[in-house]
Amino acid sequence: MEGQDEVSAREQHFHSQVRESTICFLLFAILYIVSYFIIIRYKRKSDEQEDEDAVVNRISLFLSTFTLAVSAGAVLLLPFSIISNEILLAFPHNYYIQWLNGSLIHGLWNLASLFSNLCLFVLMPFAFFFLESEGFAGLKKGIRARILETLVMLLLLALLILGMVWVASALIDSDAASMESLYDLWEFYLPYLYSCISLMGCLLLLLCTPVGLSRMFTVMGQLLVKPAILEDLDEQIYMITLEEEALQRRLHDIPDYLSC
């Protein structure tokens, strides 16, 4: 009996893992397709390019689409968690929605955190430098030369960011324990750097939101037609009266002009 219970527990764990992997793959596939159409919609149409540039553009497009899909998933994950929790509380005994469990939500959060760091520190810089690269002088032109230049640029960028964070940590907190914690790349350094970049993004959002809102209302005011019920009739009557008086003066001036 214990052996059968152990086998059934293993089977349930296996089926739950397969179900969660399938759901995650389907959700990411939907986000990737939507992100691809969004990028294609706003992507600038370029002229006919060489084979090498076309391959580079396709790789950069794939990386950008992947990054946009991960960003959309990270943004939508919080409302998805809240809605799934409310559905489970509303229908606790419904068999068809039991896949919205805590294990799936925790797995989605872990994947979002992992791929967010991957896109922020690897894929986005690689796509940018790879698109702008031409290969080192003296080497044979091609995809390999561009990849080599991109990897070198990424290494230099990583050393630059590491040095800046090290200097900032030394200036703010010169404790030996805090300096040694920077050696822990995965547990401390990447989350700390991710938090700093997120803080910069929030500050930029706070600075740009008022300007964007004012611009949005200005554009909407130009596009929308003012309703007739809100128009000032006295002002229109006054303008028509002025136009009528101007026309009458012109008509009176015509005979004088002809007599001369």
pLDDT tens per residue, range 198-231: 777 778 777 777 777 777 777 777 766 555 555 5
Which amino acid would we find at residue 212? G
Q: Is the pTM of this model over 0.75?
A: no
Residue for token digits 């290969």? 135
Beta carbons of 120 and 198 less than 8 angstroms apart: no
pLDDT of residue 251: 77
pLDDT of residue 247: 84
Can you state the angle between helices 51-90 and 2-42, rounded to 10 degrees? Answer: 130
pLDDT of residue 95: 73
Length in residues, the chain: 260
Beta carbons of 126 and 64 less than 8 angstroms apart: no
pLDDT of residue 118: 84
Residue for token digits 């076309």? 54
Residue 58: Cβ within 10 Å count:
10
Which residue positions in the chain have pLDDT lower than 50?
A: none
pLDDT of residue 226: 54
pLDDT of residue 44: 72
Whole-angstrom Cα Rg for the chain: 31
Give the C-alpha separation, 100 to 86, whole Å.
10
H or E segment at 116?
helix 102-118
Beta carbons of 45 and 23 less than 8 angstroms apart: no
Report helix, strand or coil for 141. Answer: coil
pLDDT of residue 185: 57
